[in-house]
Amino acid sequence: DGELSLSRSMINSSDKLTRKGGSSVFHHAVEGWKINSSLVLEIRKSVLQFLDAERDVSVVKSSFKPGDVIHYVLDRRRTLNISRDLHSLLPEVSPMKNRRFKTCAVVGNSGILLDSGCGKEIDSHDFVIRCNLAPVVEFAVDVGTKSDFITMNPSVVQRAFGSFRNESDREKFVHRLSMLNDSVLWIPAFMVKGGEKHVEWVNALILKNKLKVRTAYPSLRLIHAVRGYWLTNKVHIKRPSTGLLMYTLATRFCDEIHLYGYWPFPKDLHGKPVKYHYYDDLKYRYFSNAGPHRMPLEFKTLYVLHSRGALKLTTGKCL
């Protein structure tokens, strides 16, 4: 029936590779890559059976009122109060309503981007999606600067902005958000307990500084729906990573999806070390099953889609 299905043996072999820490099967088959438009349409249709990214990309104001109590998506026993600030930042309508693009870039955060020279190419796409408020200015040659949609896990406040302990951390954050202008800032605030005060601080700073950024907070069903889609296609991923979520959402809006910065392996094809993130010293955590994600399996899946022309995965230099 032409549906995307990935054979079990392929997935098993990717797990073996993962254990060995190797990545040598992934030949860099970029030359001769061609979009397979009918497959793109097929995937869009089949994702739509699980979620409508236009709607699930964010809850909207009318879904809640201040004071409502909701259960965390991945932590059902814990609850969160919809504060006044949070409510005031919920969009009236989906920030992705009626938005369609010919080409999109989804930029992951792997160190494989360093020295890639991909900045210009990334910025040339009609719509650029980035993850976890990754810095761009210092890395512009390799990663570009355009950011139309950027995700931010609440933990970023701690990891990259010193939990806003100092005025300078807050200033740095406000500066970073002001650079985004009216791009979409996507904050998964309802996933797990732990980040609620970070989200509140972020919301307060956005309001106080009258930042133009368009906040979005993924729907309560998004992650289950995305997992359901991949499970149905025999890809067993318990917690899709931000990068996989973004690709899945992008299938709704983009005719041609180009992925950069996806490389969850400690070495490149020539055996050279690759940093986990292009911009910090975080270490690889995702090689055991203890980690929340199975990025190497996700990568293998995306690689198969690349080979079939459903998306283009760039893991080398841009010319």
* Binding positions for ligand CTP, rule: CB under 6 A: 108-110, 131-132, 153, 241-244, 261-264, 276-277, 293, 295
CA 133, distance to chain mean position in Å, is 10
Distance of closest approach, residue 109 Cβ to ligand CTP, in angstroms: 4
Distance of closest approach, residue 210 Cβ to ligand CTP, in angstroms: 28
DSSP assignment of 31-76? TT----HHHHHHHHHHHHTT--HHHHT---GGG--TT-EEEETTEE
Q: Which is nearer to ligand CTP, 95 or 261 (CB)?
A: 261
The token pair that represents 80 in the structure block:
């969160």
Distance of closest approach, residue 188 Cβ to ligand CTP, in angstroms: 8
Q: Is the dihedral of CA 242, 243, 248, 252 positive or negative?
A: positive
Q: Which is nearer to ligand CTP, 91 or 243 (CB)?
A: 243
The closest of 224, 247, 228 to 301, measured between CA atoms, is 247
Considering the candidates 198, 258, 277, 293, report the single residue annotated as catalytic: 293
Q: Which is nearer to ligand CTP, 87 or 193 (CB)?
A: 193
The DSSP 8-state label assigned to residue 213 in this structure reads: -
CB 50 within 8 A of CB 225: yes
d(CA 300, CA 13): 9
125 catalytic per annotation: no
d(CA 227, CA 236): 8
Q: Which is nearer to ligand CTP, 87 or 172 (CB)?
A: 172
Distance of closest approach, residue 131 Cβ to ligand CTP, in angstroms: 4
Distance of closest approach, residue 134 Cβ to ligand CTP, in angstroms: 7
Q: Which is nearer to ligand CTP, 89 or 223 (CB)?
A: 223
First and final CA of the chain: distance in angstroms?
A: 37
Burial state string for 135-174 with b = 16 or more CB within 10 A and e = fewer than 16: bbeebeebbbebbbbbbbbbebbeebbeebeeeeebebbb
Q: Are strands 214-216 and 184-186 parallel, antiparallel or unpaired?
A: parallel
User: Which single residue brings its beta carbon nearest to ligand CTP?
Assistant: 243
Distance of closest approach, residue 84 Cβ to ligand CTP, in angstroms: 27
Residue 76 phi, psi (nearest 5): -60, -20
- What would you measure as the largest C-alpha separation in the chain, in angstroms? 58
Q: Which is nearer to ligand CTP, 3 or 115 (CB)?
A: 115
List, by residue number, the catalytic residues: 293
